[in-house]
Amino acid sequence: MRECFASPEARANNAAQALCLVYGDPVLRESDGSPASFALDASGIPLVHDRIKQPTQHDSWFGYVFWQRLLGLSPGSAAFHAANSAFAMRDLHALPAPNDLHTRTYSGGVLGLRAARLGHDWLVARLRAPAPFVARSAAPGSGTEADVPLTHGCDPAVAGSLALLGRAAGRLELDVAAPRGSALVLLCSARALPGDPCGRATPLGALLVDPFAWLVRPQLARAGAPLTLLLPPERWGTTLHLQALVLEPARAWLTDALALRVGTAR
Q: What is the mean predicted confidence (pLDDT) over 81-87?
A: 84
With respect to residue 145, please indicate whether it lies within any of the assigned structural domains. no
Report pLDDT for 246: 92
When pLDDT is cut at 50, 70 and 90, the band that residue 144 belongs to is very low
Domain co-membership, 8 together with 122: yes
What's this model's pTM, rounded to 2 decimal places? 0.48
Whole-Å CA distances, 139 to 89, 145, 153, 237:
36, 12, 20, 10
Cα dihedral sign, 228-234-239-244:
negative
Domain co-membership, 61 together with 159: no
Cα dihedral sign, 88-91-92-98:
positive
Cα-Cα-Cα-Cα torsion 48, 50, 55, 57, nearest 10 degrees, comes to 40
The answer for residues whose C-beta is within 8 angstroms of residue 228's C-beta and 6 or more apart is 171, 172, 173, 174
Domain co-membership, 25 together with 60: yes
Report pLDDT for 22: 93
Q: Which of 93-102, 121-130, 205-214, 247-256 has the lowest mean pLDDT?
A: 121-130
Q: What is the mean predicted confidence (pLDDT) over 196-202?
A: 79
Domain co-membership, 202 together with 256: yes
Instruction: Give the chain's mean pLDDT.
Output: 78
Report pLDDT for 21: 92
- Parallel, antiparallel or unpaired: strands 104-106 and 86-90: parallel
Share of the chain above pLDDT 70, in %: 83
Encode pLDDT of 26-69 as tens digits: 887 777 777 777 777 776 667 665 565 544 557 788 888 889 88
- Parallel, antiparallel or unpaired: strands 219-222 and 20-23: unpaired
Domain co-membership, 123 together with 54: yes
Q: Give the total number of structural domains in the chain.
A: 2
With respect to residue 144, please indicate whether it lies within any of the assigned structural domains. no
Q: Which of 136-140, 186-190, 211-215 has the lowest mean pLDDT?
A: 136-140
Report pLDDT for 4: 83
If one compares 44 and 186, the residue with the highest pLDDT of the two is 186
What is the rounded CA–CA span in Å between residue 156 and residue 168?
Answer: 29
> Which residues constitute the domain of residue 97?
3-128
